[in-house]
Amino acid sequence: MSREYPDRPFVGVGVVIWRGDELLLIQRGKEPRRGQWSIPGGMQELGETTCEAALREVREETNLDIEVTHMLDVIDTISRDDDGRVRMQYVLIDFAAEWRGREAIAGSDAMGVRWVRRENLPEYELWSETLRIIDKSAELR
């Protein structure tokens, strides 16, 4: 099914991964927002839970072993065309996690990976919802 003018919403997951005082950002390797920095994540596959999707996507994009600690929020994104038709719709389920092992290496859907401190986030021009999710995750730690 095409991601534009779909028959149903797509479900995606995102993960705020903490290692001490740092969190992991990935540089997106595919559209949407190719080249921009974000938290790791991707689309849920048929037959997997959202938590399983989070673990798989993190491993594919970053090579890391993580432990999911919290479900943070659900974000609905709906984009309509000029006629009011739904052009794209995603349901994004965000999790918090702790790093448990392995070195961060950019994988299949990432151009780069980087551990950063929260005070350095402004230089990465993150989506406002991503910043809100990161803040929520930090509050729960």
Domain limits of the chain? 10-140
The 10s digit of each residue's pLDDT in 18-30 is: 999 999 999 998 8
The 10s digit of each residue's pLDDT in 60-98 is: 999 999 999 999 999 999 999 999 999 999 999 999 999
The 10s digit of each residue's pLDDT in 95-117 is: 999 999 999 999 978 899 999 99
pTM of the predicted model over 0.85: yes
Question: Class of 10-140 per CATH?
Answer: alpha beta
In a 10 Å sphere around its CB, with 0-12 CB exposed, 13-18 middle and 19+ buried, how is residue 97 labelled?
buried
